[in-house]
Amino acid sequence: MATVTKRKCETCTHYNCFINKYCSEEWKPIITLNKTTTDYPPGATIFSAGEPVTGVYEIFAGKIKIVSSYGDGKERIISFASQEYILGYQGLGGNKIYPVSAVTLEKSQVTFIPIDIFYKAIKANPDMALYLVQFFAGQLRESETRVKLFLVMSALEKVTFALLTIVRSFGFDKHDESMLMYTPSRKDIASLSGTTYATVIRELAELEKNKVISLEGKEIRILNLPGIKSICEKYILY
């Protein structure tokens, strides 16, 4: 891992970044001075569940999986994240311990903002504070609802719901509008969907048989997005 030369928030072209959109011009240089950006290789852990919160992170480039550990020692992917997404917010408040881990799926570049600077920026920027409250509330609501839904979903519904989550998180290839921009491993799809590897293989084969998707090696092509949505339409949260 290597620390990258600091980019100035004042001239950043990531227009959906919460700092760029909601932080005042006076505060951007302060964040620039205190933030650090690091290159991570694939499979690197950015922070781990159980570690004390030292700050929040934002993805400048790359793809990340958010992982939660359960009492039986197993890990479950609870979400994916990509460019301009905030990481580490789950540990804010309370005992300030990260309850989840963040692991890179590919080479990624992630910016770290120390917790004291983050809190001071929130206090000084009401628009940013309001945005973050709404963002955190939405993420919590979605997470709680997903847990309830997974108790009643069929295996096929869970796998298709996972595919929709992947579409939402990463989108499609810019040069091939039906090919997923990034296809997680079958193991990661099983973890995200709360099923087994064998179940994912079986349900993906069923979707391909029904011409909803096409399996091209390790990649997945979405042939019928409305068809996928219709399978778990009553569970779609977005």
| pLDDT reading at 93 higher than 90 | no
Instruction: Tell me what the mean pLDDT of segment 175-187 comes to.
Output: 95
CA-wise closest residue to 160 among 189, 122, 125: 189
Of residues 85, 94, 105, the one with CA closest to residue 53: 94
Q: What is the pTM of this model?
A: 0.89
pLDDT digits (tens, 9 = 90+) for 58-73: 999 999 999 997 766 6
Q: In this model, does residue 237 exceed pLDDT 70?
A: no
pLDDT at 73: 64
Lowest mean pLDDT among 39-53, 143-157, 192-206: 143-157
Residue 11, burial from CB neighbour count under 10 angstroms (0-12, 13-18, 19+): exposed
Residue 5 has what pLDDT?
67
pLDDT of residue 152: 86
Report pLDDT for 54: 94
**pLDDT for residue 75:** 82
- Lowest average pLDDT, out of 23-37, 130-144, 193-207, goes to 130-144
Q: Which helix (H) or strand (E) holds 205?
A: helix 197-209
pLDDT score, position 151: 83
- The answer on pLDDT for 191 being more than 60 is yes
- Domains plus CATH for the chain? 2-149 (2.60.120.10), 152-235 (1.10.10.10)
Q: Residue 105 above 80 pLDDT?
A: yes
Contacts of 70 (CB under 8 A, 6+ apart): 76
| pLDDT at residue 232, as a whole number | 79
Tokens standing for 184?
A: 């997680």
